[in-house]
Amino acid sequence: MVHDSTDNPDDARARKPPRGATADAPPESLTPPDLDPATTTGEDEDDALLPDILEESGAVGEEPLATGHEAIERAVRLAPTSPGVYRMLSANADVLYVGKAKNVKKRLSNYARQSAPQPARILRMIAATVTVEIVSTNTETEALLLEANLIKQLRPRFNVQLRDDKSFPYILITGDHWAPQILKHRGAQTRPGRYFGPFASAGAVNRTITALQRAFLIRSCTDSFFESRSRPCLLYQIRRCAGPCTREIDFPGYTTLVREATDFLSGKSQAVKQELAGEMEKASGELEFERAALYRDRLAALSAIQSQQGINPRTVEEADVFAIHQEGGFSCVEVFFFRTGQNWGNRAYFPRAEKTFTPEEVLGSFLAQFYDDKPPPKNILLSHEIEESELLANALSIKAGHKIEVTAPKRGEKKELVTHALTNAREALGRKLADTATQSRLLDAMATTLSLPHSPKRIEVYDNSHIQGTNAVGAMIVAGPDGFVKNQYRKFNIKSEGLTPGDDYGMMREVLERRFKRLINPPEDAAGKTKDDDFPQWPDLVIIDGGRGQLNAVREIFTNLGLTQVSLMSVAKGPDRDAGRETLFMPEREAIKLEPRDPVLYFIQRLRDEAHRFVIGSHRKLRKKDIREAGLQEIPGIGPSRKRALLHHFGTLKEIERASIADLGKVPGVSAESARRIFDYFHPQPG
């Protein structure tokens, strides 16, 4: 959270009520909380919860508030009057809050003044504090950047937190080969070439690359595949590649195609389209209708790219647009990416921020964290004026090496872009709230149906996969009040030696013991790792795939580990694996059969199917690695001759994996039975 460096931030906010406040309802403090906004009701509730909060934070003693003030006063005596970043720590050495200030001593003095009235949430933070750590910086700009980095890294409970901060994909046209390749790229931009992005999602990149291949016929194959070709591949046949590998196009011709693609992605789309239209007219006038049709198809592909992009600005060349909407105690920040005058997608974020934060405060803290590891564009357009926009612009300008403008436009096309983003933020938050409400009702219904002690906050589902005991892998998926929590998913490569091939009990035993032993006794090196304080680490309900036998085996494992507070359930498939006729088993209870259209049954099926999907994907990745190392000879009946025939026919192992049984049977020397074996090897059923 960004503060003014001269005044007490809380006094200033108390004088200016938030939007919607009345004289009868004084505004609450805007200090970041640790409570779920959906369950927080006001300051009175926070005061009532203060002892519990202090106990969780590790504060001890009869007067924890006085203890906190003493800790801050000790820090004030040693604090510098220069810019810096401070961290408030609990008795357990957990970071409670990270802040920055132009004058650290003055800022901490504001917290240490016991005579000044402090809102409940400030008091909670102070009471939980036992020590303060300070890092000095040369400038306030450096302090801002360091603060954002530490908040993302440490995730303090009293700060606004940016969640789901995944890297963005780019399009790369390589520059280290005479025939450049077009591909999707994530991570460090170390490979020579031209990078275009960011794009909001991998799907947006894949769609754009496919359309660019149709329009410019640039290859997407790897260099090793390119060098091994003796004839054009399928992409050449369907007119998605010019075939430079076998010299179907000469070097100058392919260079022209690459230049056109680069110009199009660089914002010169109209010039490229006019050039192609001119070539089409020329070919038509010379009665070369086949060549004219090729240009026509390329123009259609370019039009398809721009139509998929939706709104495209006329006067905004490069900008990121941020719009925030708040409702129901939640915040949604919608981000649109515009590069080279084209819309390259949008993404909705739901930062962790207590309901008393104003939109301006959430947006200001969000932006600093968002650009911590991303290159900023020349323009950043906002739906709300943030307090330290000039400081943020200076910090990003220094980081980017060129001038960055951070503005909240009031008129013109920029204002239209912000309004469009705000509409999307409102709709995205509405969908989020609806999904959350539906999920909460499902969890409540599950608790009632299964007679659970309370509505589960964390559900873990386990499954395993193997082929005759080989490449055995177990997996855990996690669901909670907001749906699937994919950053909590885990896979377990089965390591036990001496397991009988296909011993599902043994594999499940290893997975659960590894999972819960680590939970009971976390390793020392995990103490400082990032964790999500919003989401519980212990499950309320564990679901496994299987019948009463699997349930009893897991129950025995839990008994040996001393786990008695975790509810267990197994899901047995119906006759002929018929969905809708599953049987549910729980310890010391009769088998449960739900009605086929029961929403709880649908929910359990979704959980089980997600576990199947995740474990099968993990299993295939493991097998692909083995295949790369051992070759196709691992498949029974496939020797060197058939391997060569398959690779000669399909070109790559990936194409063999994608092939149907009928396509595999067309390869010389591959019988129908061998084709079935190959197909089954790449498409296994769950073990």
Amino acid, single-letter form, for residue 271: A
User: Region 37-47: what's the mean pLDDT?
Assistant: 36
Q: Which residue has the higher pLDDT, 507 or 394?
A: 394
User: Region 99-105: what's the mean pLDDT?
Assistant: 90
Q: Domain 459-608 - what CATH class?
A: alpha beta
Q: Domain 631-682 - what CATH class?
A: mainly alpha
Same fold, 9-154 and 631-682: no
Candidate from 136-140, 282-286, 442-446 with smallest mean pLDDT: 282-286
pLDDT of amino acid 399: 85
- Cα(179)–Cα(652) distance, rounded to whole angstroms? 20
- Tokens read off for 42: 């006001």
DSSP string, 24-93: SSPPPP-S--SS-TTT---HHHHHHHHHHHHHHHT--SS-HHHHHHHHHHHHHHH--SS-EEEEEE-TT-
Comparing CA positions, the residue from 383, 404, 367 lying closest to residue 148 is 367
- Tokens read off for 462: 């386990």
Mean pLDDT of the chain: 78
pLDDT of amino acid 52: 45
The tens digit of pLDDT for each residue in 616-660 reads: 876 566 655 555 545 565 676 777 777 777 777 776 666 777 788
Contact between 545 and 610 under an 8 Å Cβ cutoff? The reply is no
- Cα(531)–Cα(155) distance, rounded to whole angstroms? 8
DSSP letter, residue 375: -
Say whether pLDDT at 40 is over 50.
no
**Contacts (Cβ under 8 Å, ≥6 apart) of 77:** none
Say whether pLDDT at 498 is over 50.
yes
Contact between 483 and 459 under an 8 Å Cβ cutoff? The reply is no
Q: Which residue has the higher pLDDT, 593 or 8?
A: 593
Comparing CA positions, the residue from 350, 291, 295, 304 lying closest to residue 326 is 350
Say whether pLDDT at 558 is over 60.
yes
User: Region 406-431: what's the mean pLDDT?
Assistant: 90
Instruction: Kindly indicate the confidence band of residue 668, based on its pLDDT and cuts at 50, 70 and 90.
Output: confident
- Cα(128)–Cα(654) distance, rounded to whole angstroms? 56
Contact between 324 and 332 under an 8 Å Cβ cutoff? The reply is yes
User: Region 445-454: what's the mean pLDDT?
Assistant: 90
Which residue reads 């679901």 in tokens?
543
pLDDT of amino acid 213: 85
User: Region 447-452: what's the mean pLDDT?
Assistant: 90
pLDDT of amino acid 363: 92
The tens digit of pLDDT for each residue in 306-353 reads: 555 556 666 777 889 999 999 878 899 999 988 877 788 888 999 888
- Cα(483)–Cα(485) distance, rounded to whole angstroms? 6
Q: Which residue has the higher pLDDT, 167 or 589?
A: 589
pLDDT of amino acid 526: 47
The tens digit of pLDDT for each residue in 232-242 reads: 888 888 888 98
Q: Residues 662, 668, 674, 679: what is their CA dihedral angle, to the nearest 10 degrees?
A: -40
- What fold is seen in the domain 319-432? Nucleotidyltransferase; domain 5 (3.30.420)
User: Region 278-282: what's the mean pLDDT?
Assistant: 80
pLDDT of amino acid 119: 66
- Tokens read off for 398: 């220094």
Of all residues in the chain, the percent with pLDDT exceeding 90 is 14
Say whether pLDDT at 298 is over 90.
no
Say whether pLDDT at 547 is over 50.
yes
pLDDT of amino acid 58: 42
Instruction: Kindly indicate the confidence band of residue 425, based on its pLDDT and cuts at 50, 70 and 90.
Output: very high
Which residue reads 């396509």 in tokens?
663
Q: How far is CA 582 from CA 259, 441, 551, 573, 591, in A?
A: 58, 22, 15, 5, 10
Strands 319-327 and 379-382: parallel
Q: How far is CA 470 from CA 119, 143, 278, 553, 625, in A?
A: 60, 53, 59, 22, 13
Contact between 450 and 593 under an 8 Å Cβ cutoff? The reply is no
- Cα(76)–Cα(79) distance, rounded to whole angstroms? 5
Q: How far apart are the first and last CA of the chain?
A: 49
Quick check: helix, strand or coil at residue 371?
Answer: coil
Comparing CA positions, the residue from 569, 547, 544 lying closest to residue 451 is 569
- Tokens read off for 189: 């931009």
Say whether pLDDT at 229 is over 80.
yes
Say whether pLDDT at 80 is over 70.
yes
Q: Where on the phi/psi map is residue 425: left (φ > 0), alpha (ψ -120 to 50), or beta?
A: alpha
Q: How many residues does the chain have?
A: 687
Say whether pLDDT at 152 is over 90.
no
Comparing CA positions, the residue from 238, 239, 170 lying closest to residue 204 is 170
- C-alpha 433: how far from chain center: 19
pLDDT of amino acid 173: 92
Comparing CA positions, the residue from 370, 426, 352 lying closest to residue 167 is 370
- Cα(492)–Cα(421) distance, rounded to whole angstroms? 41
Say whether pLDDT at 581 is over 70.
yes
User: Region 247-268: what's the mean pLDDT?
Assistant: 85
pLDDT of amino acid 431: 85
User: Region 528-540: what's the mean pLDDT?
Assistant: 65
Q: Which residue has the higher pLDDT, 193 or 615?
A: 193
Instruction: Tell me the residue ranges of DSSP E strands in 104-200.
Output: 131-136, 170-174, 182-185, 193-196
DSSP letter, residue 488: G
For residue 668, say if its preceding peptide bond is cis, omega within 30 degrees of 0: no
pLDDT of amino acid 286: 77
- Tokens read off for 79: 């604090």
**Contacts (Cβ under 8 Å, ≥6 apart) of 658:** none
- Tokens read off for 32: 């970041």
pLDDT of amino acid 408: 93
Say whether pLDDT at 496 is over 80.
no
User: Region 446-455: what's the mean pLDDT?
Assistant: 90
Say whether pLDDT at 555 is over 80.
yes
User: Region 90-102: what's the mean pLDDT?
Assistant: 89
Give long-range contacts, CB 8 A cutoff, 24+ apart: 510-518: 510/474, 511/462, 511/464, 511/474, 511/476, 512/462, 512/554, 512/557, 512/558, 513/557, 513/561, 515/476, 515/490, 516/558, 516/561, 516/563, 517/561
User: Region 576-589: what's the mean pLDDT?
Assistant: 76
Say whether pLDDT at 367 is over 80.
yes
In the chain, what are the domain boundaries? 9-154, 170-308, 319-432, 459-608, 631-682
pLDDT of amino acid 639: 75
pLDDT of amino acid 3: 37
- What fold is seen in the domain 9-154? GIY-YIG endonuclease (3.40.1440)
Instruction: Kindly indicate the confidence band of residue 561, based on its pLDDT and cuts at 50, 70 and 90.
Output: confident
pLDDT of amino acid 422: 93
Say whether pLDDT at 572 is over 60.
yes
pLDDT of amino acid 127: 86
Amino acid, single-letter form, for residue 556: E
